[in-house]
Amino acid sequence: MRLISWNVNGIRAAMKKGFLDFAKAENPDVLCVQETKMQEGQAEVSLEGYHQYWFSAEKKGYSGTAVFTKEEPLSVSYGLGIDAHDHEGRAITCEFPDFYLVNVYVPNARNELKRIDYRMSWEDAFRDYVKEIEKNRPVVICGDMNVAHEEIDLKNPKSNRGNAGFSDQERGKMTELLGAGFIDTWRYFNPELAGVYSWWSYRGNARVNNAGWRIDYFLVSRSLEKRLAAVDILTDVMGSDHCPVVLEIK
């Protein structure tokens, strides 16, 4: 089973830059997108053979997630079931026969960590949520998690220490999530590989210079370890400031 996750930074803009061609060429079983920046119905996303599930932010043109899946899920739920966290379209859970898939767009702590308190609250609620559903079956988490976990996960760790996405607080919450029983699949297969990133700032020719961050993930419950087949980060795919990440499971 081939799963792809991509922060498209506006799906309407991405469709003008080859999103549909990419999806058809890659032909994944499941395609999860973040930062859709649209309400369902504002644009037609024509992907034949896929069931579509959208969770848009109440604020138009902001945040939002969507899942495109060939296999119809047993059930689909939106958000974490907590009102304080469910107005920005940040999480969709699809129940399949042998695992849950959670597509997530984790809140950004913002410049000067202006939203760090909310981010910490979200992190705790999200961890509790995935551990609760994991009681029923294993969990696959994918999406833009807005944190580079370790120094190897970004080009310039020293100058970015304490900035949004590389603060001690955010990194600590990722450590807690992994410690709660999840595997960072990219590091599972590539424990010491540096220089492969999933996001680049639009400033300063960052992508040309590969001054990037790895902030897009596939995490899986430890019980799925033996089913991990392959991972990839499609750094050559353009159309967003992020690139797609891939997981293949048996």
Active-site option among 100, 105, 197, 217: 105
Residue 18 vs residues 27, 37, 47, 62, 90: alpha-carbon distances, Å: 14, 17, 13, 21, 24
Q: Would residue 53 show up in a list of annotated catalytic residues for this protein?
A: no
144 is catalytic: yes
What's at 117, amino acid-wise?
D
Instruction: Name the catalytic one among 144, 153, 184, 216.
Output: 144
**Is 6 strand, coil or helix?**
strand
Question: What's the chain's Rg over C-alpha atoms?
Answer: 17
What is the pairing mode between strands 75-78 and 228-233?
unpaired
Nearest to 233 by CA among 219, 247, 250, 249: 247
Structure token pair of residue 37: 């920046």
List 231's β-bridge partners, or say none.
Answer: 247
Catalytic positions: 105, 144
